Amino acid sequence: MWQPSAKTKAIIAYLTFIGLIVAFFVNREDKHAFATWHIKNMFGLLLLLIVSLALQDYYIGFIIYWLAVGLWAFCFLMAILGKRQGIPFFSEKFQQWFTFLD
């Protein structure tokens, strides 16, 4: 059976929330720290997107939405490049907060 690399799992995690779920379950079989880092980071970005949708009637929701999209694009690029770089301050907090994704 084909086992995706850590980089492949990280990239899959950024492909919608379904990709996040797929990457999480595939990573549970053969854990990679790099993939786990990006899975937690995408989970935090997904929560940010949900907050923006909850605030969509307000101007701040619009700003948070486009901020989340920009941060997603940056983090997706970092996964493609094979780097463990993300959102300053928040990516490290995501790693601490979302330990249930280990």
List of residues 6+ apart from 92 with CB closer than 8 A: none
Domain residues for the domain of 94 are: 6-101
Q: Is residue 1 part of a domain?
A: no
Rounded-to-integer distance, Cα 25 and Cα 37, Å: 14
Q: How many domains does the chain have?
A: 1
Is the overall model pTM greater than 0.85, yes or no?
yes
Question: pLDDT at position 78, please?
Answer: 93
pLDDT band at 45; cut points 50, 70, 90: very high
Question: pLDDT at position 10, please?
Answer: 92
